[in-house]
Chains A and B, each alone.
Chain A
């Protein structure tokens, strides 16, 4: 047919707030406890129980809104969203529909070196539902289902974007960068695998250059950044094939099947609930004082984009390196603290990206879980710079620090790893290597200058890597030149 189609994508992202207690009751936000052990009359939907808003949840929503350049709305309200489901005890979810707490906003992302502003529609506060455990694969095919309301009533913010994303990759990058911003604000753990970050995607296609929207589908059950990208790629292809065959897209909700790599229909628009939103008469409106909003703004940390720009402009990192370093708040803070003690940003960045991240990944750990401190890394780097240890030894020491949490000095001392910079001590080893390798000596002296590298290597081998390579080089030349 020859028509080029352009994907139009918008995301709806749920972020679970890391408040001490639930959003409308005093139950603790602790998970993994005995089922139904963190519940009360309110979050069990008992008759007569009433909601009381958690101020910290409001503060966190404002914090996220400020970090995402939203307009903080001074007057907002809660509405009831009604539907029957066993994970929703009162048969309505308290959410914000008519007047929500944050309006507009945007996040600038970088896709293949190009900056792009993705607009947000809004952020609103709501409560989470409980969890169901089915004896079969779903509620309709199960003999029985068990309900655990520990999670029910947890505070969430829902971040809704405008349909500004134009590819599956862009959507994935946006979600990753949004995750970083939220992590920086400290309002959530934002872990997709644990469900504290959840994402649904709306996607439609339209002929390239058209300004109208096509019929969209909503994709649910996406549980990692990669599966968001995969699900959208699949859905783009599915819709493209239908449109190219002259078919029409059915407006529906589709579930992503990670195992099969496909989306399947969950319900069509006709089967959708009428949620019958209306203002919750049990809760007064949220009225925010400008002073309070400014107080919250003042406590915001430097955010990923600003930090990235600073690392590039002021510290001379490449855009790529700065992007990785600022990808998580913990890594960026580790970087800043290390650089404050050892002012060679590029060296620090290299160490973090190459040594540190690969050890973390190999051990499936978060940086916060690691035993290494910025003080320890900086003193390791100082030792290397001062020539106390070689670069190779430094890596060995680092691995030991990672495993044990010991200070580098202690490891160097314990294992006798101090670099040999004593000319006398090295001279005898140099002699020994020269006499043991007549062929290489001959080659070198015959003009094959790289034979020297082999001889240096032999000395390093003899000293188990502890010889100062510069000094070895010098001694060998003195003997052979």
Chain B
């Protein structure tokens, strides 16, 4: 093995990985841990769909179903999507793309991986201890989470710990971007992926503490009964929802912004054109991060907050569509008159634009006060956020894997297979989630174990979709895993990218650059 895979003198074998402070090794540690939890999350989703294939009990009891949808949400959100792109690709590529040898705090970076693993371990432990798996849904809403007999305290504590990891990673990336840019790497020469991870890191630092204190208080409520969220003691459950969503709505942007960064990297390279409207792209990232932090109340339109608050939150929600629209139009404009090569990474990027647009546009229905009363807590919402999070972030992650795979592992995957995998994924995805939009529109509530006969055919179609989707996932990852061992050696710059990571060997050497580069042009200037 070459590059950073070569063992250091100090530590060898597995120890050289789990105690390494090299940002690339830590990125790979995250990659394997996160994909492992993703596989579990997919399995849980598969079981849920199987249960819902027919009305009435199919393969499990109602309590098991409640535990499984909670676990599916907790694992997918806190262990997969939130850390996903920033912790894997941010760790690996942010320092390289700004011309640095590592992040600003390499040891804290390693610490945050360990904290992540501790949180994940506690989350798993909570399934088998106390009163058993949590059945509250991933939102842990009070007062139910205070009353249910299941193991809420440990699960809540696990998420609190995961938040710590997120904050430390955020601090690291913000500091790295400010302090370690190579000479000549001005703010407007930063690749857009760096901008996206940078903005995400700010959100992580600023809002994660708020869910930290919320969960801490929920924990105290369970352990000693302080009464702050308990309506029986005068507490206000609505305040729990406010504090929860002050974090958890911006968390949606923690999930999607890095994905947008990935797309902005892939599209110029495979259209052989510089990005359309670089500054508009950079500022729209910041605008989404800022405005997106003030829209949390749109989760509470039917919770009993004041009408005035709802109107303001609704307006702000619509405002987020403006910078999001800017991004979509600029990606499409970048493709215009480009010399397009539909390689696997671009295929996933284009799919991102399509699915994210459906996800974004369906979101507007919920953002409108009147229609939300009809759609709130229905399958419409489930369909909508899977289009955004899976169709958006998930497909961007597949795109990122196929784009950076040769750089990370020094090998190229089989280039035909991703097209077949993509076809299965695309068909499976829409068969799985589009019926949910219709189901919700017709009034099927989310999180229900059973349903009325008129929903049967759409539920059945949706379950069939989940099988096609999983077949696609297996094919996609089988190809990558096979190529990890048997793939052809990759060149330094197989796609002809202009950003810094493509100017060094694949895989990168241990300290990335023999000599810190001097930057004299923008990230998407392909002509020499």
Whether chain B is bound by chain A comes out as no
Chain B residues with a Cβ under 8 A of chain A: none
